[in-house]
Structure 1
């Protein structure tokens, strides 16, 4: 079965109903009309909705969640009617929804219709029947799609994400007590001032069916509809920046008969929408590119929204909606609502318009640090030269071992241990300078340890970077006042203890901790009876032996602990890396 056809449902026939049941179970401020796919606010009644406020109703086919039922709530819709997947709801359900929110004495019901043939027919029929029965019903048909590029007769511009903005604006107007006529007028005005363009990377699949269309892995389609309707063109996959430019250029192109005019100085709201299968990481990148592009053209982006608002099941893709703002529309977009799916961007306190923030300078953080650290002990030029040699050789050995360590890591992880160690080593080597004029504080081991901690954190990343940063940070404390073979050994042990405290691993768990612990024990035991060099040599040999013995250990920490022991036949790559740099330090000291 293709991945796109896999669904976590109980059965195809009940998936829409169970979806709605789940929504109201999570949001008990919503309820279902018995026997119908109609979601209504629980505060609907003659004392609330019928008392001087216009009620709002919308709906459409399922598969576009969170639309439309996710926008039912105070400050937005009063009710939403769901059809089957990608199918308009039947007129009798829509009429039942209108009646449910039209209490005796109601000032009227506003109905939003997305511009699709089925929705226009079914919602239109329900509205006419409601009016025939004496109910006051206003209507706005929303079609803001900017994909159409020809003047040939078609079903018209499709109603897309922009419809949600219109609903939000009208929800605020209703709460303000505006009349049905006033709300209809503003709704039509807002609908005429917006445009949406979509871009799809993959198809979706209706429950029980295969993919809705076919598209190559290296292709994307501009202007595709939320039901899989063909777009205006297919292109090869491009970067986020290029994709956004393509979309905005098409949306605003004057030669496009459905374009949205956008010029320098215009004030707009921008909504970046996930069509279903796009990650938040990608969406935020798209939002960044869209705002930067608009601002580079002199457009003032007063409001920006980014998230999942109206989808096409699991389709990977996005849509961008622009709405020309005035003070009324912006105020209504900002008005409070507790509808579950409506976004709430965080603005600075007291801000009226959105502005892209400048980066906070690091000096601001540094200026807040008033306490200076202790003065560190230093060493002579000869010993500083040895430290330089140790750093240089250890870094070079780890860079040379990148492939070897990556190969070991593929057995238990994602195969990047060597690259991580090499990246950190290259960063240190690049900033090392010359022995005569070093850029690192090699004459002050305690300060050097803190510098290495920062380097590990900044350039290595991941758990290895965090562990080495902890190790060097803790080690620096032991080197503050004195520097000797004994304090170096104490620093090693302090680093080990801190790694155990925060990393969760213990000796014997098949990690980089094993050779470090073995070296610490051997070094500490030998210092009382051997020369410093001999003691350190014994420590290095103990580390190398322990690193090789990890091949026989059961992994109980790190990613390897999730891998079957049958697949772990070689030494742990992190442990091997420790043995490599310790051997390099010994050779540099012995040269």
Structure 2
């Protein structure tokens, strides 16, 4: 019997199960602090900003870029080497924030909880690090569809500005549950790539050298398996795993074994893919021993036993292990697992050169651990051993956290610019055409503002209950900028660029990204008409087509674009057939909204899809604005139209 099994045997457990310490026979203590109370204290949006301030308060070497969720090294302007940058959603701390400092990341940018940072924020961080920096910037980002698109957009914009920047997407998920549309997911292995890149930067390697080396590591040297802990109650076990029970346990996946002891509360292991996407689940495994668990983990991460995405190793290979505790595992369990993994790997002739144990990522969804395998050589080991002072890298360190009050935790960026200020390129419209655009913007913004509750109700059936609120926030910004004369309605290119920025900054999650993509691509169309001053129907038709093509191209990464495209296609076809017949265009949008809902949801008496529904709302608003003479257009008239929008929209 090895050390690992001995620990578990001493706990009187015959398989990899742990008895819940709160026995059902013990009296339950009255809770004095509830989740509702917690929600009142920690508002999700403000919590992220306070959290960043907390990191900067506790660390003398960190600052926040004022006006953004960007955490940076205080000396970022004076560094004499390549800057390493990353970012993503909040809610997985210490991931991202805990890895900023000497020897690792120079800066990170955060979004909302489980929402990618908007691309203007990413671009602001690149500009702050890149302008006047001859060494360059390397972005190393976990591969997630939401994050990927926004970072690509920001990098493309930075390259247009001639900033020296490269990007690597780390995809280390070895679960085998890969969505072919966006590939493997980025998990905790990204931290090991940051460590190597940070050490190379400190050793004054050039941008190209760091990029090539880290790209090779992320492509062939990394493999991570995430294991979720599944709790099974006694009353479920008493049903002897009948079909209905099995469905509840595995969410549609088969149990590997049903030989589980009848404890009051036990835990089995669920091999899991994407950390956030709860729909991508693997099978639930119940292990008879710690030895079985270790063998399964090795089979997923090494030599393709269970997964084609594992690291290929030969005899006498060297590896580094990273075990991340998402927060629910006891230290004795993690170290017992390390012991068993060592025995298994030694038997295969594989040497563990470095072991890192700690919490590098947490999550509200996962309740378990992950194991990352990195194939290493002497050079990689030197980079892993290079000193770093960041708090989240698993190691013992000493640091003075006493911050003198004279040191600020926010800094003003070197570049003062309005996020909504864009260059005026392409055709400039006549006064009459500008008046038309003003009226269209007024009608659309007021329509979306008045339909907040309606869109929220529609989206509630798709876990998008705040979609209408996000659209209202964007519409309010459009309306305010319109009356402050900050919306460049006389220049189609600049107007669409501003709408792209507003969408990204105000509409959370992937929906805002797709709207940003749509408007950005549509704006590029007007650069082809640089020398034309007269507005034509063809310009707008071409712009709409370009926007659809952009969503189609990037939309291959994820399927969320489908209903938006379903609603836009008939609008484009109607414009091509009869560009001056606005009624046909509006009816095309509304008809598609009905069609989408009719085939999938209407028979179940559910609401229409929020994507198609919202497109139909703003297309109808555009049409109504164009049909109304400008002399009759007013805020009162627009509001009256918007308040009756339920009359012409399909709404069960």
The answer to whether residue 118 in structure 2 is matched with residue 90 in structure 1 is: yes
**Structure 1 segments unaligned to the other structure (5+ residues):** 204-212, 347-591
Tell me how many residue pairs correspond in the alignment.
Answer: 332
Q: Which residue of 2 aligns with 1:247?
A: 297
What are the equivalent positions in structure 2 for 1:183-222 lying under 5 Å apart? 183-191=210-218, 192-202=220-230, 218-222=267-271
Judge conservation of contact 2:45–2:112 (CA < 8 Å) in 1: no
Distance 2:82 2:356 in 1: 26
Residues 329 and 23 from structure 1, CA distance in 2 versus in 1: closer, same or farther, beyond 3 angstroms? same
The answer to whether residue 176 in structure 2 is matched with residue 139 in structure 1 is: no
The answer to whether residue 378 in structure 2 is matched with residue 336 in structure 1 is: no
**Structure 2 segments unaligned to the other structure (5+ residues):** 1-30, 232-246, 251-265, 398-652
Q: Which residue of 1 aligns with 2:342?
A: 291
Residues 173 and 322 from structure 1, CA distance in 2 versus in 1: closer, same or farther, beyond 3 angstroms? same
Q: Which residue of 1 aligns with 2:53?
A: 21
Q: Which residue of 2 aligns with 1:175?
A: 202
Judge conservation of contact 2:177–2:273 (CA < 8 Å) in 1: no
TM-score (structure 1 length as normaliser): 0.53
Residues 215 and 341 from structure 1, CA distance in 2 versus in 1: closer, same or farther, beyond 3 angstroms? farther
**SS of 1:269 mapped into structure 2:** strand
**1:281 Cα deviation from its structure 2 partner:** 2.6
Judge conservation of contact 1:65–1:310 (CA < 8 Å) in 2: yes
**1:4 Cα deviation from its structure 2 partner:** 8.6
Judge conservation of contact 2:230–2:267 (CA < 8 Å) in 1: no
Residues 255 and 282 from structure 1, CA distance in 2 versus in 1: closer, same or farther, beyond 3 angstroms? closer
Residues 345 and 303 from structure 1, CA distance in 2 versus in 1: closer, same or farther, beyond 3 angstroms? farther
- Give structure 1 regions of 4+ aligned residues with deviation exceeding 4 angstroms: 1-9, 213-218
**1:305 Cα deviation from its structure 2 partner:** 0.5
Deviation per CA, 1:506-555, whole angstroms, max 9, x where unpaired? xxxxxxxxxxxxxxxxxxxxxxxxxxxxxxxxxxxxxxxxxxxxxxxxxx
Q: Which residue of 2 aligns with 1:326?
A: 377
**SS of 1:13 mapped into structure 2:** helix
Q: Which residue of 2 aligns with 1:78?
A: 106
Deviation per CA, 1:277-315, whole angstroms, max 9, x where unpaired? 223232222222222221222101111111101222473
Q: Which residue of 1 aligns with 2:272?
A: 223
**1:222 Cα deviation from its structure 2 partner:** 0.5
**SS of 1:70 mapped into structure 2:** helix
What are the equivalent positions in structure 2 for 1:266-277 lying under 5 Å apart? 266-277=317-328
Distance 1:124 1:5 in 2: 38
Residues 79 and 294 from structure 1, CA distance in 2 versus in 1: closer, same or farther, beyond 3 angstroms? same
**SS of 1:201 mapped into structure 2:** strand
Distance 1:6 1:278 in 2: 26
Q: 1:109 aligns with which of 119, 126, 137?
A: 137
Residues 126 and 149 from structure 1, CA distance in 2 versus in 1: closer, same or farther, beyond 3 angstroms? closer
Judge conservation of contact 1:60–1:83 (CA < 8 Å) in 2: yes
Residues 313 and 241 from structure 1, CA distance in 2 versus in 1: closer, same or farther, beyond 3 angstroms? farther
The answer to whether residue 82 in structure 2 is matched with residue 54 in structure 1 is: yes
Q: 1:119 aligns with which of 131, 137, 147?
A: 147
Please identify the structure whose Cα radius of gyration is greater: 1
Residues 105 and 251 from structure 1, CA distance in 2 versus in 1: closer, same or farther, beyond 3 angstroms? closer
What are the equivalent positions in structure 2 for 1:470-489 lying under 5 Å apart? none
Deviation per CA, 1:329-366, whole angstroms, max 9, x where unpaired? 110000001111112279xxxxxxxxxxxxxxxxxxxx
**1:64 Cα deviation from its structure 2 partner:** 1.1
Q: 1:233 aligns with which of 268, 283, 297?
A: 283
**SS of 1:14 mapped into structure 2:** helix
Distance 1:121 1:202 in 2: 32
Deviation per CA, 1:224-277, whole angstroms, max 9, x where unpaired? 432153332112365443322211112233463222223321111111111232
Judge conservation of contact 2:177–2:281 (CA < 8 Å) in 1: no
Residues 34 and 133 from structure 1, CA distance in 2 versus in 1: closer, same or farther, beyond 3 angstroms? same
Distance 1:288 1:5 in 2: 41
Distance 1:3 1:254 in 2: 45
